A and B are shown apart, each in its own frame.
Chain A
Amino acid sequence: GQNIDQPTEMTATEGAIVQINCTYQTSGFNGLFWYQQHAGEAPTFLSYNVLDGLEEKGRFSSFLSRSKGYSYLLLKELQMKDSASYLCAVVGWGLDQGGKLIFGQGTELSVKP
């Protein structure tokens, strides 16, 4: 079966650091995405991990452990505009290279002053 778990809600303070975890169990694995989605808007790409380790991009970093089926998104120096839903998505195996995205339910992050 396919299962992706992430916390439903998280709250953090402006200027702080927050870590959003994602665990997955899928029949195939071809990479993991993190997307940010503000209410009523399209998901926007944050990161893509296919190998184990940490990928850093400005205030955002993403980590992957394929053996543990685990990823996290780390947000540093939180700003009010970071309040959004954060979606973890695994690229499943396709018949060819075009894989479909299997999403978790999303983590609603609220950044407080």
Chain B
Amino acid sequence: DAGVTQSPTHLIKTRGQQVTLRCSPKSGHDTVSWYQQALGQGPQFIFQYYEEEERQRGNFPDRFSGHQFPNYSSELNVNALLLGDSALYLCASSLWEEKKAFFGQGTRLTVV
């Protein structure tokens, strides 16, 4: 049973560019949440998708957008990258009616 998988594991981008990160949830899960974790900090909630709709959003600018596909997988898109966007991006999957979330290994994004 595959857990939560994210791709790519590492990425280097230049300021101003756009990036797309991908997440496949744990088998049987229908809800995907994205988090940003800066070095030495706890993860911060970006947004959550269920039934292909954004259900909740954290305090992140519109440069951060996402999508969920019919197979429950999800993408996180960040436009006009800033140096401050450098972080570990974590995807978590769960069942909508449950609270327990499982995390992927994350994508380490470096903006130069």
Q: Which residues of A contact B (CB under 8 A)?
A: 4, 30-31, 33, 35, 40-45, 48, 50, 87, 89, 91, 94-106
Contact = CB atoms under 8 A, between A and B. Distances in A.
Contact of A98 (B42, B56, B58): B56
Nearest to A6: B42
B48 to A, nearest CB: 6
A56 to B, nearest CB: 18
Give the bracket for the number of chain B residues in contact with chain A.
20 to 34
A interface SS class: loop
Contacts of B103: 35, 42-44
B87 interface: no
B90 A87 contact: no
B97 A105 contact: no
Most B-side CB within 10 Å, residue of A4, A87, A97: A97
A102 B44 CA distance: 7
Most A-side CB within 10 Å, residue of B45, B50, B58, B92: B45
